[in-house]
Structures are given as structure tokens and as C-alpha cells.
């Protein structure tokens, strides 16, 4: 009777099999055929909160270029860049990245100071890429054009950018009646862009 009872209990186990589970680092054993072995482990992913900034396009305004009409018929006159280092032919390439849905990023810009004693920093204007050029003689130029200052000014903000977000800027130079000639190499300023999140 005992042998029959053992066979009655053992045969379904051998025929139907068991599910045997283990965890990380366990060596589990079972009967083959019949048993199914399941071992588990945990996979962890950590994604940090990141912001990013890409700026490209040293820019030049050469009013002596053969394709440029200088002086303008009326002052102030507005000029597009004659040479850019990036892909935006009217200014600079600017891109921002943020993967946070809770933090707000802020993009700001400013300039280092005046070009020279007679050419002020605020004669350089910026606007979102694609802004229409102002009409000569209008001061200020209107539209979305803002003049550069030595103080950071916010130009865009947001949260998650779903990749690199284009925030490219167009530039124009405002020629005025008191702009003295520059050396052949020109006069320079440094333009700063910064992004932070809070």
C-alpha cells in the first residue's frame, strides 16, 4: 500500500512537472523532462536629469563687402551677416537640451561690451530665427529684434525638449551716422549664451 501511495504521488509530479522558482544567485534543479525552472533578476536603469547647450556660428558683418550697399540711403541702416560659421545664414545656430519634465530651463544671452568707442554693443540685434528684417530708418528696429546688452537677458525657456530643440538666433547690425572706420581686421565682441535649469 505504501509503494502504491508513493507512486500515486510521484507519477503526477514526474508526468505533469513542477514550476520551480529561484532568485538572483540561486542554483535551482528539477527533473527533466517535466519540471520548469524559472530564475529571476532585477535590471535597474538610472537616467540623470541633464541640460545641454550647443552654439555655433562666429559671425561677421563686413560693410565693405562688394555685395553690401554702404552707406544706406537712410540711417540707421540694418545689415545681415556677410559671413557665418554655422548653418544659419542669418546668425547663429543655438540648440538646447533638457530631459526634465519638472525643471524649467532658461536660455540667456549677453555681450562682452562695445565694439569700439563709436560702435556700441547695442547696435547688434538678435531675434528668433526667421524674423523679418527691419526697414532702414526705423530706430529701434521693431518686431522681435532686441539689442545686445552686457546683462544676461532670457530669450527662451521650457521643460522637456524631446531631443535637441532649435533656438537659433538671427543677427542684424545697425549702422549709425557716427560709426568710425574700423581697422582692416574689424572690431570684435564676445557673445555669451548660457542655459540653466531650476
Tell me the per-residue pLDDT of 111-164, one tens digit each, with 9 for 90 and over.
999 999 999 999 999 999 999 999 999 999 999 999 999 999 999 999 999 999
**Which H or E element spans position 169?**
strand 169-175
CA separation for the pair 164, 99 (Å, rounded): 10
* pLDDT score, position 17: 86
* pLDDT score, position 148: 98
The string of pLDDT tens digits covering residues 156-197 is: 999 999 999 999 999 999 999 999 999 999 999 999 999 999
Question: In which residue are the cell numbers 555681450 written?
Answer: 111
The string of pLDDT tens digits covering residues 6-65 is: 444 445 545 578 999 998 999 999 999 999 999 999 999 999 999 999 999 999 999 999
Residue 4 has pLDDT above 70, yes or no: no
Instruction: Label residue 95 by pLDDT band (50, 70, 90).
Output: very high
CA separation for the pair 120, 69 (Å, rounded): 21
The domains of the chain, with CATH numbers, are 2-39 (no CATH), 51-197 (2.60.40)
Cα dihedral value 76, 92, 105, 122, nearest 10: -20
* pLDDT score, position 1: 59
Report the predicted TM-score, pTM, of the whole model to 2 decimal places: 0.84
Question: In which residue are the cell numbers 530631459 written?
Answer: 99
Closest CA to 95 of 137, 134, 129: 129
Amino acid at each position: 500500500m505504501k509503494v502504491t501511495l508513493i507512486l500515486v504521488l510521484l507519477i503526477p509530479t514526474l508526468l505533469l512537472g513542477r514550476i520551480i522558482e529561484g532568485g538572483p544567485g540561486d542554483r535551482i534543479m528539477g527533473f527533466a523532462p517535466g519540471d520548469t525552472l524559472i530564475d529571476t533578476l532585477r535590471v535597474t536603469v538610472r537616467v540623470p536629469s541633464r541640460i545641454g547647450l550647443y552654439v555655433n556660428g562666429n559671425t561677421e558683418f563686413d560693410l565693405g563687402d562688394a555685395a553690401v550697399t554702404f552707406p544706406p540711403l537712410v540711417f540707421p541702416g540694418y545689415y545681415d551677416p556677410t559671413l557665418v560659421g554655422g548653418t544659419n545664414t542669418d546668425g547663429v545656430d543655438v540648440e538646447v537640451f533638457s530631459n526634465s519634465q519638472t525643471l524649467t530651463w532658461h536660455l540667456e544671452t549677453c555681450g562682452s561690451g562695445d565694439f569700439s568707442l563709436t560702435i556700441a554693443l547695442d547696435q547688434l540685434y538678435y531675434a528668433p530665427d526667421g524674423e523679418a528684417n527691419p526697414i532702414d530708418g526705423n530706430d529701434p528696429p521693431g518686431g522681435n529684434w532686441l539689442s545686445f546688452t552686457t546683462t544676461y537677458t532670457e530669450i527662451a525657456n521650457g521643460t522637456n525638449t524631446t531631443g535637441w530643440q532649435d533656438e537659433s538666433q538671427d543677427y542684424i547690425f545697425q549702422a549709425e551716422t557716427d560709426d568710425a572706420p574700423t581697422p582692416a581686421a574689424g572690431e570684435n565682441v564676445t557673445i555669451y549664451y548660457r542655459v540653466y535649469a531650476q
